Chains A and B, each alone.
Chain A
Amino acid sequence: MKNTTALIACSAWLWCCSPASGETPAVPAPGPVPVAAPGPATGLADSAALRATVYGTPPRDIAPLPASVPLQQIDIALPWARPVPAVFWFDRRLRVWFSAQHKPAPLAVVISGTGSDGNTANLALLRAVLYRDGYHVLTMPSPTFPDFIVAASSTGVAGDLLQDSRDLYSALRQIVAHLPHRVRITDIDILGYSLGGANAAVVKSIAAADGALRIHRAVMINPPVSLFASMERLDQLFAQSIGSGDAGVERLYAKLYARLANVYRTPDQIAVGDSEVLAAATTVLRSDQEFAAAIALNFRIALMNVFFAGDLYAGTGVVIDPRHPPRVGDSLEEITRELRSKPFSEYFSRVFAPYYLAHRPGSTLQSLQADNRLDIIGAQLARDPDYYVQTNSDDLILNPPELAWLRSTLGSRIAMYDHGGHLGNLGDRQQVSDMLAMLAGRWNQAP
């Protein structure tokens, strides 16, 4: 009995302080939601943005939801995948989720955020509102999710906007071709949140060039403009709130452990519900620094997987000896300890750059950086009326120049909200109604 409930608790905790996966918030944001001052309120220390990012949309503010959404899990082996390393035995096939309408309908493809799978709470929310609006819905993992890296990546070294999106596009073609015959698709639109937003837009531009799959509209939700700049901003958040090295993580752990234990040591706490302890974890966050730490740590955990897989596939030998890769059943404890203290910049300089410099003739460190900006499809974003973006003026992965770039490039096809941090308003009534209007081509907002 206890084991199973413990597992629920564990999975709840795994995603509970995870902004990218957006578990339903443990507690509502305290007090009335402060509206940001006019103009972009960007900055790492914006209190409201940090809280919104951790808590997500308060359940009361969620757009109307359907009572039931049918769901299928599709596991597909892709022919171009690289040989599966022993430690990744469970990631042989790409796993995506599909909800079919009973009548001919447009297909909405939704791509997950950094390091997340194809069935996060955020995706479930988008699936629900899209299904309610009459779409077939296909939800896909991020190209930085380990299962995608192993089963669908042609390189194994994740994080390159163009390469990852090419792999996504190829996988999407395969999946669409294998959908059950009775599913009648009238049109294809693509969406994504966070990194998945940038992926979605690039996939649409690849599809336009390739012509095999026609993707009509693309909606980016809280996308980064420069991938590496956003990731370095999250590294910076980590250094500021947790400190560099593993000691910072241990300090944070000890502090939160004591605080959480004290919640349960109070006098009339008669019985501790099995599933409650860890689910209560977000309620013990107090200062801005702690909220920032939760966000930074969540990103670091996603990065650890990307780093590990990249190092293994590229054979760069940072944490894995290429001659003796870990076998099934080997302890990875030492490696996790090492990876916890490694920032994105180290992944870039020691795994990503060496691999791509060797495999992409004529590239330089600068060109690799530049290739990972939304500018690579800047012309299409500006010209093609079927690209849309939704973002927040206090999104912590963007700085003012990047926000300004989005505004000037997309013109009237941008919805900018004052509050929400990173994904902290995903699924609320306004965001959802705007998103559905964009997908239907009904969106027109004066710039």
Chain B
Amino acid sequence: MSAPRRPASALAASAVAANAVAATVVLIAIATLSGCALENPSIRRLPPDTPAADNQAAIQRADERAATARQAAEREAAQAAQARQAAQAGSESPDAVIPLTAADAPSMYSYDPWARLNRSIYRFNARFDAAIFLPVADTYDRLPPPLRHGVRNFFSNLYEPNSALNYLLQWRPATGLRSVGRFVVNTTLGIGGLFDVAAHLRLANPLTGFSVTLARWGLHPGPYLVIPLLGPSTLRDGVGQLADYGVSYGINLADLYRGYQSWALGTLNAVNQRAGNNFRYYSSGSPFEYETIRFLYVHRELIEDAALHARSPPRPPDPGKAAGE
């Protein structure tokens, strides 16, 4: 009689233990988030500055920018000449890019109907970042660079099939094929995507996703949206991201998107991305940070949209409407 009871009580005990562990974790998380676990002063070791390498990179960037600026100026001059010729001939080439004027600029104000919710999520993100996300990312940042690059390449490679699909949906099958090529090369020669061999074979290709596809199809960014843990976004970007995840989930490469391994990988990917990003919440110290970041995010997206539709005449902005509305 007592024999079968023992496992049951052991089970109950382990369930209690598991619950206690979970409760402790939650309590620590709450305590950290509310700030009562902080000593004064708190001294936190950061990843070291790398001034020499940073300056080297700045030199390279400056050279690239200078080259781009030169090309842009030449192109602009050629375009202007072309436009003059076209005007003289009385015809217009259908392929010509239509330059925007100041009158085409959308409103300075961003469409943010969910502002109250967004603000509280932004605040939550800032607290989560300071208490948990950043300390973890800083620790991760001390791992040897080759290891971190491997992780980064691995996750980029996982996005490649989704990129290929979206290039197809954007009606750019040739670029999509490059994505397929990259995926095949990196998964095989690059040992499961740990090494970006394709880039060395001059087979570089930026990743794309549903958000860009939707933009290409003419969808507006829509309302500004702050996503828990991920940060600033718009409705279109949010939907796009969900769809991107859906595709990866559907493909379920090597069964990575099911069960425990999906949680482990998801966490690793989040840390990998946070470590590669030097944005710090409230480093501006400013009470207007929410407004500033929203402006920058939404308007950057609108500029990208304008670039995607370079050959169609700009839609005149409605003066009464906020950008993205």
Contact = CB atoms under 8 A, between A and B. Distances in A.
A33 interface: no
B172 to A, nearest CB: 9
B135 to A, nearest CB: 11
Interface string A245-283: 000011101110110111111110101110001101001
Contacts of A280: 65, 68
A305 B306 contact: no
Nearest to A85: B287
A349 interface: no
A76 B62 contact: no
Interface stretch (A63-71, A355-363, A432-440): A63-71
A337 to B, nearest CB: 9
Nearest to A257: B105
B300 interface: yes
A24 interface: yes
Q: Which among B233, B285, B297 has the highest number of chain A CB atoms within 10 Å?
A: B285
A69 B62 contact: no
Contact of B287 (A253, A261, A332): A332
Contact of B49 (A69, A260, A272, A332): A69
A308 B285 CA distance: 12
Interface stretch (A4-12, A161-169, A391-399): A4-12
Chain B interface size, as a band, is: 35 or more
B70 to A, nearest CB: 10
A178 interface: yes
Contacts of B207: 1
Nearest to B119: A329
B246 interface: no
Interface string B199-213: 000000011110100
A4 B105 contact: no
A7 B274 CA distance: 10
Interface residues of A, number: 93
Given A260-B303, A272-B304, A59 B72 contact: no
B58 interface: yes
Contacts of A365: none
A266 B306 contact: no
A194 to B, nearest CB: 17
B104 A77 contact: no
A263 B280 CA distance: 29
Contacts of A332: 287-288, 290-291
B277 A7 contact: yes
A87 interface: yes
B62 A58 contact: yes
Contact of B97 (A13, A67, A266): A266
Contact of A266 (B45, B55, B58, B75): B75
B97 A277 contact: no
B9 interface: no
A283 B232 contact: no
B285 A10 contact: no
A250 B108 contact: yes
Interface in A172-192: 175, 178, 180
Contacts of B206: 271, 273
A168 to B, nearest CB: 16
A87 B287 CA distance: 6
Nearest to B47: A71
Contact of B300 (A6, A89, A249): A6
Contacts of A277: 300, 303-304
A329 B116 contact: yes
A305 B100 contact: no
Nearest to A266: B75
A310 B119 CA distance: 23
Contacts of B290: 332
A388 B58 CA distance: 30
A251 B276 CA distance: 36
B282 A68 contact: no
A7 B288 contact: no
A336 B284 CA distance: 15
Contacts of B106: 257
A265 B307 contact: yes
Given A127-B49, A146-B287, A265-B310, A27 B297 contact: no
Contacts of A336: 288, 291
A77 B40 contact: yes
A414 interface: no
Contact of B41 (A178, A265, A278): A178
A2 interface: yes
Nearest to B303: A261
Interface in B28-62: 38, 40-55, 58-59, 61-62
Interface in B57-115: 58-59, 61-62, 65-66, 68-69, 72, 75, 95, 97-106, 108-109, 115
Contacts of B232: 3, 6-7, 10
A308 B289 CA distance: 13
Nearest to B231: A3
A175 B277 CA distance: 29
A128 B51 contact: yes
Contacts of A260: 303
B196 interface: no
A367 interface: no
B286 A254 contact: no
Given A4-B276, A329-B123, A147 B51 contact: no
Nearest to A326: B287
29 contacts: A2-B211, A3-B227, A3-B232, A3-B241, A4-B231, A4-B277, A4-B279, A6-B231, A14-B296, A26-B65, A59-B58, A68-B49, A72-B43, A89-B123, A93-B42, A97-B46, A119-B283, A128-B51, A175-B41, A250-B108, A257-B303, A258-B99, A258-B100, A265-B306, A273-B206, A280-B68, A283-B65, A309-B287, A332-B287
Given A75-B44, A77-B40, A336-B288, 10 more contacts: A1-B207, A3-B241, A10-B296, A14-B296, A60-B59, A69-B49, A71-B46, A71-B49, A73-B43, A264-B304
User: What are the nearest 6 A-B pairs in CB distance?
Assistant: A264-B307, A7-B279, A76-B41, A128-B51, A265-B310, A254-B105
